[in-house]
Amino acid sequence: MSRVITFVTGNKNKLREVKAILEKSGDTAWTLESRELDVPEVQGNTQQVALAKCRAAAKQLNGPCLTEDTALCFQALQGLPGPYIKDFLQKLGLDGLNTLLAGFDDKRAEAVCTFAYCEGPESEPIVFEGRTPGRIVPPRGPTHFGWDPVFEVEGRGKTFAEMDGAEKNEVSHRYKALAKVQAYLQST
């Protein structure tokens, strides 16, 4: 019988990507269900944010859970907006993200996904991180998923938004982090 793990998210696009990645792997040792919870968003680096979110979720659920946090780190801005990308995007929009880098020649960025897994409220969460290098470009492609239209993956010549789901899931920061989660869960 497979373990049931609650993935804490209210983001339908994120949930769709995670399920697509997991289904492709054929892993049946555990089953993912999703639930939206009100967990605090602490200020800190990606790992601090992920750990705090996962601890709070495990306490509320009183069982195993998986949380995810995404960051977009601009090299020219020493890693900003980082884990605050959602707020930056809401306030500035896609064009505003480009404007942040207008005075810089360096448009390099890194997409970072941090999953945290916790067995329950008495356990310490474990962090898994995936990174995808790229650069910030003027928006290209559909605008239905966050900052995907402005992040061009290194060596691909396409933004995440210009890729179909299968192509994105082969190179994304989320895929890389989730592969580490799967490896851990298969070993326990």
Structure tokens belonging to residue 15: 């949930």
Establish whether 105 is an annotated binding residue: no
Q: Residues of 97-121 as b/e, b for ≥16 C-beta within 10 angstroms?
A: bbebbeeeeebbbbbbbbbbbbbee
Q: Is 168 part of any known ligand binding site?
A: yes
Is 174 within any annotated ligand binding site?
A: yes
Residue 16 known to bind ligand: no
- Residue 61 to residues 25, 55, 125, Cα–Cα distance (Å): 26, 10, 14
Contact between 171 and 133 under an 8 Å Cβ cutoff? The reply is no
Has 13 been labeled as part of a binding site?
yes
40/44 Cα distance (integer angstroms): 12
Both tokens assigned to 161: 């938004």
145 annotated binding-site participant: yes
Question: Is residue 148 annotated as involved in ligand binding?
Answer: yes
10 in a known ligand binding site: yes
**Annotated binding residue 30:** no
> Is 69 assigned to a binding site?
yes
User: Does 53 belong to an annotated binding site?
Assistant: yes
Tell whether residue 26 is among the known ligand binding residues: no
Place of tokens 């269900």: 33
Q: Decide: 110 and 134 in contact? Cβ < 8 Å.
A: yes
Residue 41 annotated as part of some ligand binding site: yes
Q: Which residues contact 104 (CB under 8 A, 6 or more apart)?
A: 76, 77
Q: Which residues are annotated as a binding site for Mg(2+)?
A: 41, 69
Which residues make up each annotated binding site?
Answer: 9-14, 41, 53, 69-70, 145-148, 168, 173-174
Return binding residues for ITP.
Answer: 9-14, 53, 69-70, 145-148, 168, 173-174
